[in-house]
Amino acid sequence: MDALRPHGWIILDKPLELGSTQAVGAVKRNLREAGLLGKGKDKLKVGHGGTLDPLATGVLPIAIGEATKLCGRMLDASKIYEFTIGFGAETETLDVEGAVTETSDHRPSLAEVEAVLPQFTGPIEQIPPKYSALKIDGKRAYDLARAGVAVEMKLRGVTIYSLSIRHPDTSSRHPELVSGSPEVLKQVQDDEALEGITLIAKVSKGTYIRSLARDIARALNTVGHVTMLRRTKAGPFTLKQAISLDKLNEIGKGADITDYLLPLEAGLDDIPAFDLTPDQAKLLRQGMTLDEQEMIGNPALNGLFLATENHGSPVALAELVDGTVKVVRGFNM
């Protein structure tokens, strides 16, 4: 990788109250201070691979340079979240930021929560929050809601691949058991009324965790809102690869960006790779097609794959269809 033209991913552990756009701005600022951003037509593009609300924390993939061509794939990727539902109050934003719109004295038990979760696993339909970035007649839903305009959000289909309990909220009544075993926690909490519950969900693109929390609470004959939201995985990226904002700021102070930058192909670890000859790579860079039979060491690929040269340098995201290799997205590394 050319140190003056970094292409790849910085995985930020986004802190509270920092918006996704602000996080992208922080990366740009550090690249600029390090003399890596460039100017004019040589200026590097920077983008994120999936919005996180300011009140959410966790994995925010930020693409730099040619990796921005993969942001769409990252938006389509599955995500894993940990989130806490606080029972007894529903808010207009479905999180702690909004005003309370409905309350309930009922508190569910752990057994009741366990019983209801299968209803929200698999393909489901949900109504997105009216305070969301979805566009209605060309305007953001949250702008309409803040302006007092009645917003009708339509049902949309999403998939919840898995949904499980992390641990009950025992801190207020049994602080000595917060670090105890799940078996002890479960024994204590089975019949107790819960003030909140923390869940882990693996979800498809388009899933609103705030809506999921609202609907789970209502299915439990109460109301609720999200009090904590943390993304632990986005596509192939996890918290293990994430850096803090402080670490990010070290780049602008002279730290080697390669200590924090993941390669472009790290965002494509779910598809196979195939190394091309120089002549084949040249043809793909020119937007030409390749015949499957002409590919030395034919890998019998079918569908998307990463075309590389020189044992790993990305050339293109390519697709093999009916014996012909076509470029989906070319990389100018």
Give residue for tokens 């020119």.
286
Which structure tokens are listed for 73?
A: 């794939």
Of the candidates 280, 74, 81, the one whose C-alpha atom is nearest the C-alpha of residue 166 is: 81
Q: In this structure, are strands 46-48 and 57-64 parallel, antiparallel, or unpaired?
A: antiparallel
Beta bridge partners of 173: none
Spatial separation of the C-alpha atoms in residues 327 and 101, rounded to whole Å: 51
The SS3 assignment for 67 reads helix
CB neighbourhood size of 16 (10 A): 12
Q: Which of 2, 13, 53, 291 is catalytic?
A: 53
Sequence-distant (6+) residues with CB within 8 A of 322 are none
Q: Say how many CA atoms lie within 13 Å of 264 toward its Cβ.
A: 28
Scanning the chain, the segments in alpha helix (DSSP H) are 20-33, 71-76, 110-116, 141-146, 182-189, 209-219, 245-252, 278-285
Q: What are the counts of helices (DSSP H) followed by strands (DSSP E) for the chain?
A: 8, 19
Spatial separation of the C-alpha atoms in residues 46 and 62, rounded to whole Å: 7
Contact of 21 with 45, CB cutoff 8 Å: no
Give residue for tokens 């049902």.
155
Whether 76 is catalytic is: no
Beta bridge partners of 134: none
Sequence-distant (6+) residues with CB within 8 A of 39 are none
Which positions are catalytic?
A: 53
